[in-house]
Amino acid sequence: MRILVVEDDRILGEAISQRIGRMGHGLDLAQTGNQANQMLGVQEYDLILLDLNLPDMTGNQILQNLRKKQSNTPVIILTARDEIKDRIELLDLGADDYMAKPVDFGELEARCRALLRRSQGQAQNTIEYGNVCLDLQACTVTVAGVLIELKQREFRLLEVFIGHTGRVLSKETLIEHIYNFNENPNPSVIEIYVARLRKSLQDSDIHIRTIRGLGYLLEKHHD
Amino acid sequence: MRILVVEDDRILGEAISQRIGRMGHGLDLAQTGNQANQMLGVQEYDLILLDLNLPDMTGNQILQNLRKKQSNTPVIILTARDEIKDRIELLDLGADDYMAKPVDFGELEARCRALLRRSQGQAQNTIEYGNVCLDLQACTVTVAGVLIELKQREFRLLEVFIGHTGRVLSKETLIEHIYNFNENPNPSVIEIYVARLRKSLQDSDIHIRTIRGLGYLLEKHHD
DNA sequence: CCCATGTCATGCGTATTTTAGTGGTCGAAG
DNA sequence: CTTCGACCACTAAAATACGCATGACATGGG
């Protein structure tokens, strides 16, 4: 999962980044509205943490901008202001949640988990597809109830696949979801991880179909 | 949209119901945990407002119960307690949001709207023409509901045809649409792909008519 | 320093795309 | 009505791009 943190306060931004980073997600930090908009133009995110008070524009504008593009990435607002009116407006604008500063990191993590879960169309902390079950918190995977070992990257890849079932995912798209902005690996690394994932999933009833020239597609097995 | 309100306090429950009802949604009110579980067994809801302190069981149990059934209906918790710990647990249990009592009705409405929007927002990106249906995300095509296999180029070509129904498309135009600027294939490749597409579409109710000297035209079949 | 993990480079096999070539069809002009 | 030329359909085979396996090379934490 790939998360954008928009926060001008360097200290707070870094603190959040660290915390989120430890959850094992790809993460970008924008310190101005402009920067944020640029990044949003280039990259699709799975979650956005948005500070309202930015030096160059209000979080409001960023949010409007985002929704205008038909994006439905979940957004959590961070705000020092606690006037209910504003919050309502933001929720109506398309924010999904908000938190008042000072931020309680534990709660922030929980809310991130809840929203990420929802945007994947699941309301549980484990995602199941076929006989494969991901535990997002423990970062473990079971196939038919048997625990299997996945490396971090493999796990994240599988997470993206299961979160986008029914969609063909190109190597580029997959890279965007499991790498940071400043990382530019060769798209062929995806081939490697797909290969490893396939090996790990060979006893499961799902498999990754390659669609030549387009990407990969997660499917249930039907022999 | 159909909403379940679980709230034992009669006054508050009615107030919420009225308010939500005015948003134009169908609504049921449960005053006990048992009642709630019963209703959840019979009816599928699009959103649940759940009071934590019920006479016969905790909201917790209802939530667990719900998630055990693989339901991913969004849930908003209503709670008088405002200890952060509890809230985190609930979010982790699969709640999507919470509000502290006393409830601000404006805010409640806004949150409901946000969650409903999100759960609806999984619109499918498909184009239909006749009995042919393109899924742009999965890059798949069905004819009369049956999945057919198309190569990448064939798919793109069909996409262009369906996106320009009622227009005669010259080979040159088609090439411009499915090739990059720097690629300059022989215009006759289009003939090949049209031939292959025709073969794939022979069981459909659309066909590609040749207009000699001008190009091709996608039409619905009428024998 | 060593091991675990992640990334990259090479070469091979195959699926897809493109070209080439042959024969067929259409339509206009004689 | 016939004939001619241009355009189109179709097959087979060549060329290419793509994906995969393997192993070598980085990197970073213990």
CB of B139 lies under 7 Å from some atom of strand D = no
Q: What is the pLDDT of residue B189?
A: 93
My answer on whether A97 and A144 are in the same domain is: no
Q: What is the pLDDT of residue A103?
A: 77
- Total domains in chain B come to 2
Instruction: Provide the residue type at B119 as one letter.
Output: S
Q: Among B104, B120, B136, where does a domain finish?
A: B120
The DSSP code for A219 is E
My answer on whether B115 and B132 are in the same domain is: no
At a CB cut-off of 8 Å and minimum separation 6, what does B42 contact? none
Q: Among A64, A88, A119, where does a domain finish?
A: A119
My answer on whether A73 and A144 are in the same domain is: no
For the stretch B3-38, pLDDT in tens is: 899 998 888 888 888 888 777 787 889 999 999 998
CB of B74 lies under 7 Å from some atom of strand D = no
Percentage of the residues of chain B whose pLDDT score is greater than 70: 92
Q: What is the pLDDT of residue B116?
A: 78
My answer on whether A136 and A192 are in the same domain is: yes
Element (H, E) at B3: strand B2-6
My answer on whether A27 and A78 are in the same domain is: yes
Q: Please, which pLDDT band fits residue B136 given cuts at 50, 70 and 90?
A: confident
Rounded Cα distance, A30 and B33, in Å? 45
My answer on whether B155 and B116 are in the same domain is: no
Which nucleotide lies nearest residue B178, CA to C1'?
Answer: C17
My answer on whether A48 and A75 are in the same domain is: yes
Q: Please, which pLDDT band fits residue B132 given cuts at 50, 70 and 90?
A: very high
- Kindly tell me if the per-residue pLDDT of B122 is higher than 70: no
At B164, phi and psi to the nearest 5?
A: -130, 50
Rounded Cα distance, B164 and B132, in Å? 15
For the stretch B103-114, pLDDT in tens is: 778 778 888 888
Residue B146 at interface with chain A, using a CB cutoff of 8 Å: no
Q: What is the pLDDT of residue A121?
A: 60
My answer on whether B79 and B134 are in the same domain is: no
CB of A212 lies under 7 Å from some atom of strand D = yes
CB of B187 lies under 7 Å from some atom of strand C = no
The CATH number that applies at residue A186 is 1.10.10.10
For the stretch B40-85, pLDDT in tens is: 888 888 889 998 878 888 778 888 888 877 777 888 888 775 555 6
Rounded Cα distance, B43 and B71, in Å? 12
The CATH number that applies at residue A29 is 3.40.50.2300
Range of the domain at A161: 126-220
Element (H, E) at B87: helix B84-93
For the stretch A146-158, pLDDT in tens is: 888 899 899 999 9
My answer on whether B99 and B11 are in the same domain is: yes
My answer on whether A140 and A196 are in the same domain is: yes
Q: Strands A140-143 and A132-135: what pairing?
A: antiparallel
My answer on whether B114 and B7 are in the same domain is: yes
Q: What is the pLDDT of residue B25?
A: 80
Residue B95 at interface with chain A, using a CB cutoff of 8 Å: yes
DSSP class per residue in A86-151: HHHHHHHHT--EEEESSP-HHHHHHHHHHHHHHHTT--SSEEEETTEEEETTTTEEEETTEEE---
Which nucleotide lies nearest residue A153, CA to C1'?
Answer: C6
Distance in angstroms: CA A90, C1' C22: 68
**pTM over the 0.85 mark:** no
**8 Å CB contact between B46 and B112:** no
Q: Which residues of chain A have pLDDT under 70?
A: 80-87, 120-125, 222-223
Rounded Cα distance, A74 and A41, in Å? 16
Distance in angstroms: CA B81, C1' C14: 64
Q: Among B89, B120, B151, where does a domain finish?
A: B120
Q: Which residues of A touch B135 (CB under 8 A)?
A: 166
Chain D positions within 7 A of any protein Cβ atom are 6-12, 17-23
Encoded tokens for A34: 């402009």
My answer on whether A34 and A100 are in the same domain is: yes
